[in-house]
Structure formats: structure tokens, C-alpha cells
């Protein structure tokens, strides 16, 4: 399984590194520069509000289905029609819940109009993720990898045409950005559905309520977990917009979005590990195969990258923000400097929180595969309570920076708890050498960054590249990235049909 994981991880990372950085830096960033921080903050708060209720589109079905299909391939044909019917019903329920809550908290007019389109996009995304859970559950990782970048590739094409050809004149608005998402998701969903139908046969929708009840009963623990995690990972911008007076709330949500954009990109890369590991861990645990090797392999790779990225961000956050964002029309220099300074500080805090996120994608996925959902839900609930409390206290005083501090504390706490419980529940062997090497990587990368800054070597762009390369070379030298072992795994014929 280590060979299957490593081969598919390389392919998946290659595709995502090819597409998603251009999406983040070339399209999404440019949309915010064109529409303005306040306007993008308006969209960002609505998007995250809609995401808070994303679980009602799924109720844990996707994670349950991924784990179940990996263990029982034949159930794809048996369950697909019923599952698809459930997704349609859940979509209707989601729309009702989102609009009722939006009305209760004071959304109106343009907010509700944009929410309708964003909610429709969330439904399409949820359906794509469900279809992908069938594909990855069958261990068709290459096909799933292509679908994972298709929506972004289409959005690059559509939004790129709207931004750079002048087809809209000077009338590009945040609404056009959302319309482009709708079209890209719709095409991707159609392609993914075609792939699944080749494996399952014809799609016959049927309203089998005893079947719905059985699936919901088995998937609800997954649903509760996703619901709680969605709240503590996505409520930041909503609380910023709601707790601060207008227009400061929209403006600060936009400042937070500037920094969060790159955290989101990093999380998308880390999520690829979970996509591969959930079906692999599930199959191995069912067959009672040893998992220590795959846990160490995946954890050492993801943490090496996360630590190097966090150190790079710590030293060059302001330079990166200045590179990404320009002054808006009519924005005074002092206001621009304040906005960039805030974003840089938020960026530092969020990227240190990414270290916790990266760990969660390994040990949280492992506990999910083991069906240790009660443990995960208790950990997630602890994170939610901490995040909400800190946001409520810190946002009025420190604005968006306070929300980033809350995120850092929450992610590190939940990561620590997941590691502790994963080792306890699954009786993993504690390898002190691995933890020592990771600490050495962190300390060594910090020292390299400090020396590069002290001796002022080249431009800041040169120092970023040098720090990134030297950090990864240090990881190879101290074997947090064990290249010789990676090659051995890839060349191992005995693992070919595992």
C-alpha cells in the first residue's frame, strides 16, 4: 500500500501544483484586486456562511461511502441510485436551512441573491465530492486526480477570458466570478457522473425511505464530525463580518481573505493526502494489515513540507502580501500599508496553524478509517468551543488578527489531541527518532532563514527560493524526506498487487 500511496501522491501533487497555484495567484487573487477588498470580503463572508451548513448537503454520506466502497466494491451498483436520490433531497433541505438562517440573521437584497448562487455551487460541489468518493473508493486514484483539478482548470479558462479579454468591458463583478464557478462545477459534475455510471450501470433514482434511514443512521457520526469541523474552520470570516460594524466588517473579512487564500491553497494540497489515505487505511484496517509504515511515510512527507512553508512565511509574509496585492483605486497609501501589514501578520499566524491542519489530515483520517468517530467528535467539539470563545473575545479588540490567533490555537489543540488518541487507540509505535528529526528540521530551517536575512543574500525572492530549497535538502539529509526509502518503495515488486 505504501507504493500505491506514493505513486498516486506524486501524480496527484503534480496535477495540483500544475493547476492550483495559477488559480490562486493568477485568477482568485486578481478577482480580489479587480473587485476590491470590501467587495471580495462581502463575497467571502457569504461563501463561508454557506459553507457552515455544507454538512446538510451530505450528512456524512461522502466519507461513509468512501470508506464503505473501499471495503465493499460491489455495493456501488446496489447503492448508487438511492444515494443519488438522497443527495437531491438533501440539496433541497440545505437550500431551505441556509435561507431561513440567513433571513434570521439579517441578510437581505443582494446578499440573498448572491447566497442563492453560492448555495447552488455548494450543492454541485457536494455532488462532485460524492461522485469522487465512489471513484477513489474503487482505488481509481488517477481518474480521481484528474477530476480533482478539472473544476479549477475550467474556472481558470472561464474567469481568465472574462478578466483579460475585455469581453465585459469594465463591468466585471463578484457575481460574474460566482457564475463562472457554477458553469465549471456543472461540467465537472457531468464528467464525474459519466465515469461512475460506467462502473455502476444506469442511474435509477428511487425513493427508498427505509434505505435512506439506514444510510443516515450509519453516516450521522461522520456528519456530526464534518459539521463541527466546518464551524470551527469556516466561521472566522462570518464572525468578523457580524461582530464588527459595517463597512468595517466587510473590509476586515477581505483583509482576512487576502491571507486565508494561501492557507486555503496549502490545505488543498494537504487534503490530497486524506483523499488517498482514507480508502487505503480503511482497506488495511479491515484486512488487519500493519499501518505503522504508511502512517510514518505520509506524516513525515506532509510535516516536512508544512514546517518549511511555515518558516518561509514567518520571514517573508509581508513581501509575499506586497507581491500579491496592489492598491485599490482611490486607496490612500497609509490605508494600503495598514491593510498589507494586517494581512502579513494574519498570514504568519494562519500558516503556523497549517502545521496543525497537516497533522490532522493524517491522524484524523486514520481515526476516521478506524471508525473512531466518537473520539474525533469530542476533539472537534473541543476545538469548536475554543474557536468560538476566542473569536468572540478577540475579534472586537483585534479585528481579523484576533480571528487568526483563534485559528492557530484551535488547530494546534485539535492536532495534539488527534495524535495522542491515534497512538493510544491504534497502538502505534512511538518513534522518538522521527519526532527529533522533525524538530531538527524546524530548528535548522529557522537558522538558515536567520542567516539569509542577516547576510542579506540577494533579493527577497532569491532568499525565499534558497530557504525553500535548503529546507527541503535539510529534510533529505536528516531523513524526514528519506529519498532512498521512497525509491525503494517505488521499486518494490512485492507491493505491486497489495
Q: What is the CA radius of gyration of the chain?
A: 22
Quote the pLDDT of residue 56: 82
CA angle 33, 36, 41 (to 5 degrees): 110
Sequence-ordered list of residues with C-beta below 8 angstroms from that of 204, at least 6 positions apart, any chain: 81
**Residue found under cell 497549517:** 354
Q: Give yes or no for residue 491 having a pLDDT over 90.
A: no
Average confidence score pLDDT of the chain: 85
Sequence-ordered list of residues with C-beta below 8 angstroms from that of 184, at least 6 positions apart, any chain: 151, 152, 154, 155, 158
- 64 versus 93: the higher-pLDDT residue is 93
Q: Work out the percent of the chain whose per-residue pLDDT is above 70.
A: 93
Quote the pLDDT of residue 498: 40
- Let me know if 484 is exposed, middle or buried by CB neighbors in 10 A (0-12, 13-18, 19+): exposed
Sequence-ordered list of residues with C-beta below 8 angstroms from that of 435, at least 6 positions apart, any chain: none
Quote the pLDDT of residue 305: 93
Lowest-confidence pick of 150-159, 328-337, 458-467: 328-337
Nearest residue to 82 via CA among 203, 242, 1, 243 = 203
- 469 versus 29: the higher-pLDDT residue is 469
Identify whether the C-beta of residue 249 lies closer than 8 Å to the C-beta of residue 242.
Answer: yes
Alpha helical stretches, state H, 325-372: 333-369
- Range with the largest mean pLDDT of 70-84, 129-143, 183-197, 288-302: 183-197
pLDDT in tens, 238-286: 789 889 988 888 889 888 988 888 888 888 788 878 877 887 888 788 8
Identify whether the C-beta of residue 293 lies closer than 8 Å to the C-beta of residue 338.
Answer: no
Grid cell in block for residue 432: 522518538
Mean pLDDT of 328-337: 84
Quote the pLDDT of residue 232: 67
Element (H, E) at 438: helix 432-454
Query: Collapsing DSSP states into helix, strand and coil, what is residue 404?
Result: helix
Nearest residue to 470 via CA among 238, 478, 127 = 478
Compute how many other C-beta atoms are within 10 angstroms of the C-beta atom of residue 396. 11
Identify whether the C-beta of residue 278 lies closer than 8 Å to the C-beta of residue 63.
Answer: yes
Nearest residue to 429 via CA among 337, 323, 311, 293 = 293
Q: Give yes or no for residue 483 having a pLDDT over 60.
A: yes
Quote the pLDDT of residue 20: 78
Identify whether the C-beta of residue 154 lies closer than 8 Å to the C-beta of residue 183.
Answer: yes
Identify whether the C-beta of residue 176 lies closer than 8 Å to the C-beta of residue 153.
Answer: no
Quote the pLDDT of residue 218: 74
Quote the pLDDT of residue 490: 65
Mean pLDDT of 473-490: 81
- 103 versus 142: the higher-pLDDT residue is 103
Label residue 7 by pLDDT band (50, 70, 90). confident
Q: Work out the percent of the chain whose per-residue pLDDT is above 90.
A: 37
Quote the pLDDT of residue 352: 96
Q: Where are the domains of the chain?
A: 2-430
**Residue found under cell 496585492:** 325
DSSP 165: S
Grid cell in block for residue 111: 446578499
DSSP 44: H
- Give pTM, 2 decimals: 0.74
Lowest-confidence pick of 166-180, 208-222, 283-297: 208-222
Q: Give yes or no for residue 203 having a pLDDT over 50.
A: yes
What is the rounded CA–CA span in Å between residue 259 and residue 348?
A: 9
Grid cell in block for residue 88: 437531491
Quote the pLDDT of residue 496: 46
Lowest-confidence pick of 122-131, 201-210, 407-416: 201-210
- 15 versus 6: the higher-pLDDT residue is 15
Label residue 112 by pLDDT band (50, 70, 90). very high
Quote the pLDDT of residue 107: 86
Name the maximum alpha-carbon separation found in the chain: 70
Grid cell in block for residue 96: 431551505
Amino acid at each position: 500500500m505504501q507504493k500505491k500511496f506514493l505513486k498516486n501522491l506524486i501524480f496527484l501533487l503534480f496535477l495540483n501544483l500544475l493547476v492550483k497555484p495559477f488559480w490562486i495567484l493568477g485568477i482568485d487573487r486578481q478577482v480580489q484586486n479587480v473587485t476590491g477588498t470590501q467587495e471580495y470580503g462581502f463575497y467571502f463572508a457569504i461563501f463561508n456562511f454557506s459553507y457552515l451548513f455544507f454538512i446538510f448537503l451530505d450528512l456524512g454520506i461522502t466519507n461513509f461511502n468512501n470508506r464503505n466502497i473501499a471495503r465493499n466494491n460491489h455495493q456501488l451498483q446496489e447503492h448508487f441510485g438511492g444515494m443519488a436520490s438522497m443527495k437531491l433531497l438533501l440539496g433541497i433541505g440545505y437550500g431551505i436551512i441556509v435561507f431561513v438562517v440567513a433571513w434570521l440573521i439579517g441578510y437581505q437584497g443582494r446578499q440573498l441573491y448572491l447566497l442563492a448562487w453560492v448555495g447552488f455551487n455548494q450543492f454541485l460541489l457536494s455532488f462532485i465530492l460524492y461522485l469522487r468518493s465512489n471513484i477513489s473508493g474503487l482505488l481509481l486514484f488517477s481518474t480521481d486526480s484528474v477530476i480533482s483539478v478539472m473544476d479549477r482548470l475550467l474556472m481558470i479558462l472561464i474567469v481568465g477570458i472574462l478578466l483579460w479579454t475585455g469581453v465585459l468591458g469594465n463591468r466585471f463583478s463578484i457575481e460574474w466570478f460566482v457564475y463562472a464557478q457554477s458553469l465549471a462545477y456543472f461540467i465537472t459534475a457531468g464528467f464525474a457522473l459519466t465515469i461512475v455510471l460506467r462502473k455502476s450501470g444506469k442511474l435509477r433514482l428511487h425513493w427508498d425511505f427505509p434505505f435512506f434511514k439506514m444510510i443516515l443512521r450509519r453516516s450521522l457520526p461522520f456528519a456530526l464530525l464534518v459539521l463541527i469541523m466546518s464551524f470551527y474552520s469556516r466561521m472566522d470570516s462570518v464572525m468578523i463580518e457580524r461582530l464588527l460594524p459595517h463597512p468595517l466588517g466587510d473590509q476586515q473579512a477581505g483583509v482576512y481573505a487576502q491571507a486565508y487564500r494561501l492557507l486555503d491553497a496549502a490545505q488543498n494540497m494537504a487534503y490530497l493526502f486524506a483523499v488517498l489515505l482514507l480508502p487505503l487505511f480503511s482497506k488495511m484496517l479491515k484486512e488487519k494489515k500493519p499501518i505503522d509504515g504508511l502512517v510514518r511515510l505520509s506524516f513525515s512527507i506532509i510535516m516536512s513540507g508544512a514546517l518549511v512553508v511555515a518558516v518561509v512565511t514567518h520571514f517573508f509574509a509581508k513581501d509575499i502580501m506586497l507581491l500579491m496585492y496592489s492598491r485599490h483605486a482611490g486607496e490612500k497609501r497609509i490605508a494600503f500599508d495598514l491593510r498589507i501589514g494586517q494581512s502579513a501578520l494574519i498570514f504568519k499566524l494562519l500558516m503556523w496553524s497549517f502545521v496543525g491542519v497537516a497533522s490532522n489530515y493524517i491522524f484524523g483520517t486514520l481515526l476516521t478509517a478506524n471508525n473512531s468517530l466518537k473520539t474525533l467528535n469530542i476533539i472537534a467539539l473541543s476545538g469548536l468551543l475554543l474557536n468560538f470563545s476566542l473569536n468572540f473575545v478577540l475579534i472586537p479588540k483585534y479585528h481579523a488578527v484576533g480571528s487568526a490567533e483563534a485559528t492557530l490555537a484551535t488547530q494546534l489543540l485539535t492536532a495534539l489531541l488527534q495524535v495522542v488518541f491515534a497512538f493510544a487507540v491504534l497502538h502505534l509505535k512511538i518513534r522518538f527518532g522521527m519526532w527529533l528529526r522533525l524538530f531538527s528540521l524546524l530548528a535548522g530551517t529557522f537558522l538558515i532563514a536567520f542567516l539569509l536575512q542577516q547576510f542579506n543574500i540577494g533579493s527577497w525572492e532569491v532568499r525565499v527560493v534558497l530557504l525553500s530549497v535548503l529546507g527541503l535538502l535539510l529534510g533529505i539529509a536528516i531523513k524526514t524526506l528519506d529519498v532512498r526509502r521512497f525509491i525503494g518503495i517505488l521499486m518494490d515488486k512485492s507491493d505491486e498487487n497489495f
